Structure 1
Amino acid sequence: MTSLASETSAAPRPPLPPDEPLTHPADGPVYGHQKPRVFTVPSTRLSSAGQEAVDLAARAGLTLDPWQQFVLDQGMSERADGNWAAFECCVNVPRQNGKGGIIEARELWGLFIGGEKLILHSAHEFKTAKNAFKRVEALIRRCPDLHKRVKNYRYTVGEEAIELHSGQILRFIARSKGSGRGFTGDCNILDEDMILGDDAMDALMPTMAAVANPQIWYLGSAGIGAPSVQLGRLRRRALAAIESGVPDPSLAYFEWSINEHADECVTGCTEHDDLDAPESALVANPAIGYRLTLEKTEHERRSMGAEGYARERLGVGSYPSDGRDTWQVIGQDAWRALAAADSEPEGAVSFAVDMTPERSHAAIAVAGIWRGGTHVEVVDHRPGTAWVTARAKELHERWKPKAWIVDAGGPAGSLISDLADTLGVEILSPKTREVAQAAGQFYDAVTDQSLSHLDQAPLATALAGAQKRPLGDAWAWARRGVNVDISPLVAATLAKWGLGAEVEAEVDPLDNIW
């Protein structure tokens, strides 16, 4: 049975204001994007201590790039009551861009201006924490006004610290399950946050519970899979805030990365960033023009594999789930158990179309009766929408379906008129209550094991990222975040519903063949 699913340092220039766009002067250096592609901050900002941190760093000989100043300005935003607007700040940027400068400026401010009693700087490896200690020490020693306020530089291995006469302490530790326990930190700096799991968080997070105005900073590069547990959580929160248009109330998130192509992208896709395009390196590396050059990134691309270059230079990360953020509606095991090796539905079939709200992808799904239950498949799933009508015409002429279904209130509703004209049939559109009924029927069919499918990746991925949204007294499918495409799931759900919908048959049902 044949299935239907057939990326030499340039001389610095004067700082740019944070809102200045990327420039490409024909006769001068090229600069990376100074604003992050993925960005969210709490909406409670009234003022910021960021400029104090920038100015203090300059006194110590540390001149910050515009993007570093932007992060400090936004991350150190203050509410009307004087407390931090963001309890958590996360900076996700490829290596060698200068995240260390942000760390150093924030720590200097906490010691010498902010009056933070204890600042804990942790890294995954001891040598990283020790190098950070040496850099901050050098900055302080270069500024006599700051150095004279230091009571002691502690060099004991594993207990490196800087202590002021006024009592403030900056400690440097390597992370472990027990490190940080017993310390009450006003500010926690978690370097190398792409290697940060539950053990370290369980040890460090409680240290801030007794602090009146605590803040935690996560800094690192793209996720590397299973070790990036906490970074994955933070990123999902940021994406959810961006998707909903409602800022996370306690998170400031800054990510420089490309919007990489998906597996479904066709040749020539212009909606995503090409790995080899110079512009991709600029999008993901704000330090280009300051301490990096475009030429250097091009050398890296020639020497590195595609996956390594995408991760290390373009910020394309792998972020694990902690199990609470995926497969929330239908369990993975329950879904996989319904997979069929083939399909041969009996009688009429129905097709449905859906697309993402931002119109980045669309999907066509089909449903038919098989072995006493319903079988669903994703017939086509591609970027964009221009292909849908022509593909629908091919399917209609070949399979002569009972119905075509599109939710008029959904993103694909704009296609109804063209589809009707092209196919010469009425496009069935469910009412609001019927959209809820369709989701309920799909769910029930999985529960009672009367549904089958081909275990296709687009449908499984959609189910893994789907949530419920209230619809009257019932519910319909909802996306978990901006990076979740549930159009294959919605299309399959509507196609199944269409099998039982009342439509006028325009062809002999006996002519319908799967």
Structure 2
Amino acid sequence: MTTSEIWQPPSEFAEQCRELYGLTCPPRWGTPRRPEYPSLGPKAWKVMERLGFPPMPWQRYVLDVALEIDPATGLFAYREVGLSVSRQQGKTQQILGVQVHRAMAWARQNIVYAAQTRGMARQRWEDEFLATLDDSSLAGKYRARKSNGHEAIIWRKTRSKMGITANTEKAGHGPPLDLGVIDEAFAHEDDRLEQAFSPAMLTRPMGQLWWASAGGTDKSAWLNKKRAAGREIVERLWAEGVHPRIAYFEWFAPDDLPRDDPATWRMCLPALGFTVTEATIRAELEKLDPGEFDRAYLNRTRKSTPPQDPNVPVAAWQGLADPVSQAGPELAFAVEVSQDRAWSSIALAAAREDGRVHLELVDRRPGTDWVIPAVVRLRELWDPVAVAVAASGSPSASLIDGLIAAGVTAPEDKERPRRGDLVVMRSGDLVEACGQMADAINQGTAVHRDQAELTAAVSGARTRPSGDAWTLDRRRSLADVGPFYAVTLARWALVSRAEAGRDDYDPLDSVY
């Protein structure tokens, strides 16, 4: 998902985070604080301080919202708290703080922690939770029971118990549950643990379920479902003003933001500058493969990489990037609409002095209503040799009549086209254009500016047969192939109409 495709929180949310907590890296999706509601957040802050981890602004914000008390009932306002944040941001310390606060604040609380497996839960419980407590000012206020299958930290004054469980259908069965924590949710491929925890909490008026995780993979079915639901909850909250019983917090970097840019890190790593440095993240970038870095530190879902379409020279495309390449005066525009009509793209192809063809995505926005005015304006500004659009059978064909009505007309004499004429490409033209584009990429006669949306379209492109040749396939492509299709059409229009109005000069002579 790119920045233009993703919901933007209102500006007052960032202002609230900054004013109340000094948080300059607010989550992309976050439940806002209701100041009129009292909160036990400050008490949990003090617990974290006693554990040796003074809470960072993002932790204070999350705790303050998650532990709000409904004035009408005196109970927690939220029965569920979802936290999706990258690695090394202090998630583990906060989860421990939540458990210890619960154990110290109320008597005989049953607190259960779960991780990827029971073995991983035991390791974190003993090596991190218990070790942190033993080194803190709270040492001596509890006793540890380490017998296998009965692990627990039992608090002497309240008799509250912090235990662990396995990721099975039987997890959480037994005594009523006051606080359930599902950590590393990316490793859970189904909802068995939630289904086990939830019934055990029904009779506990102050019961809460917390889950936390960095991004997962395509197989992280439960996490992906919870993240999608959490995003919808926050977006609906801001639209309708209704707070459900679920609080959600997610830091996330859209796919079009460069992974190696510190500005990207500063918008999705709330611990940056506190417990994590840019040098640390840079080292992780150099060490990890890109997909794993994106998952761990940009909180993106790591998607499985399907086999590339053999007709699309993706590897060669990567070597044609020239971020400073500029379009020259001899250029053509093309319009493309996605199969579901959700997105439209305008692209250009321009001749360079070195004989190569510059390819560029000019604009890509939702819907189609903006396309015709944009084409008219671009045509006035740049005097292109042609404006290309696919004919009947293509989603963009519906724009042809509108373009003509707006003055972007087809040539009266097809043998003598004029500059700026509309080129309506037939099926044979599309096949020819796709083959020419593949050749240009393989031969290195094309160049692009490494635009994220265009490169994503090339990487996700799939093709379909057309006789003994092929064309790009809008339906089967793994991304909106529109940007790639648009530059393909624009290049064909440039090559085929380069002599329009230039009888004495063909800028593409050196290409062929």
Shorter-chain TM range is 0.5 to 0.7
CA deviations over 1:467-491 (Å, ceiling 9, x no partner): xxxxxxxxxxxxxxxxx99x99xxx
What is the identity percentage for the equivalent residue pairs of Structure 1 and Structure 2?
21
Q: Pick which of 35-44 and 298-307 moved more.
A: 35-44
The residue matched to 1:55 in structure 2 has which SS? helix
Give the structure 2 partner of residue 192 of structure 1: 184
Superposition deviation, residue 424 in structure 1: 6.9
Q: 1:299 — aligned with what?
A: 283
Q: Label 1:215 to 1:278 Cα distance change in 2 as closer, same or farther (>3 A).
A: same
Distance 1:221 1:33, change over 3 A: farther
Unmatched 5+ stretches in structure 1: 1-15, 24-31, 262-272, 321-350, 365-379, 407-415, 426-453, 463-483, 489-514
Match of 1:279 in 2: 263
Q: Is the 8 A contact 1:110 1:116 kept in 2?
A: no
| CA offset digits 1:276-319 (Å, max 9, x no partner) | 21211222222222222111222222232221221122111148
Per the alignment, residue 491 of structure 2 pairs with: none
Partner of 1:329: none
User: What residue in structure 2 maps to residue 421 of structure 1?
Assistant: 406
Alignment equivalent of 1:383, drawn from 364, 377, 381? 364
The yes-or-no answer on 1:394 pairing with 2:378 is: no
Name 1:473's counterpart in structure 2. none
SS at match of 1:394: strand
Partners of 2:339 and 2:474 within 8 A in 1: no
Which residue, 285, 301, 306 being the options, matches 1:317? 301
Does the C-alpha gap of structure 1 residues 198 and 382 become closer, same or farther in structure 2, counting only changes over 3 Å? farther
Per chain length, whose mean CA-contact separation is higher, i.e. which structure has more relative contact order (CA < 8 Å, sep 6+)? Answer: 1
- Residue 41 to residue 206, structure 1, CA distance change in 2 (3 Å): farther
Distance 1:114 1:319, change over 3 A: farther
1:129 to 121, 146, 160: 121
Letter in 1 for 2:211: Y
Mapped contact 1:50–1:72 kept (Cα < 8 A):
yes
Report the AA paired with residue 254 of structure 1: F
The structure with the larger Rg is 2
| Residues 464-475 of structure 1 aligned to structure 2 (within 5 Å) | none
Which one of the candidate residues 246, 249, 252 is aligned to 1:254?
A: 249
| 1:176 and 2:158 correspond | no
- For 1:104 and 1:460, how far apart are their aligned partners in 2? 46
Q: Distance in 2 between matches of 1:44 and 1:21?
A: 10
Between 93-102 and 40-49, report the one with greater CA deviation: 40-49
How many residues are matched?
A: 348
Alignment of 1:288 with 2:279, yes or no, is: no
Instruction: Output the CA distance in 2 between the equivalents of 1:78 and 1:422.
Output: 62
The 8 Å contact of residues 292 and 302 in structure 2, kept in 1 or not, is answered as no
Q: Is the 8 A contact 1:123 1:190 kept in 2?
A: yes
Q: Distance in 2 between matches of 1:209 and 1:461?
A: 46
Matched, 1:229 2:221: yes
Distance (Å, rounded) in 1 between the aligned partners of 2:179 and 2:247: 15
Q: Report the counterpart of residue 75 of structure 1 in structure 2.
A: 66
2:231 is aligned, of 230, 234, 239, to: 239
- Secondary structure at the counterpart of residue 57 of structure 1: helix
Please give the alpha-carbon distance, in whole angstroms, between the structure 1 residues aligned to 2:178 and 2:471.
49
Letter in 2 for 1:253: Y
- State the AA in 1 paired with 2:194: M
Q: Secondary structure at the match of 1:19?
A: helix
The answer to whether structure 1 residue 157 and structure 2 residue 142 are counterparts is: no
Instruction: Give the structure-1-normalised TM-score.
Output: 0.57
TM-score (normalised: structure 2): 0.57
Question: Alpha-carbon deviation of 1:109?
Answer: 0.9
Is the 2:103–2:160 Cα contact (8 Å) retained in structure 1? yes
User: Does the CA-based 8 Å contact 1:42-1:249 persist in structure 2?
Assistant: no
C-alpha displacement at 1:53, in angstroms? 0.2
Letter in 2 for 1:383: R
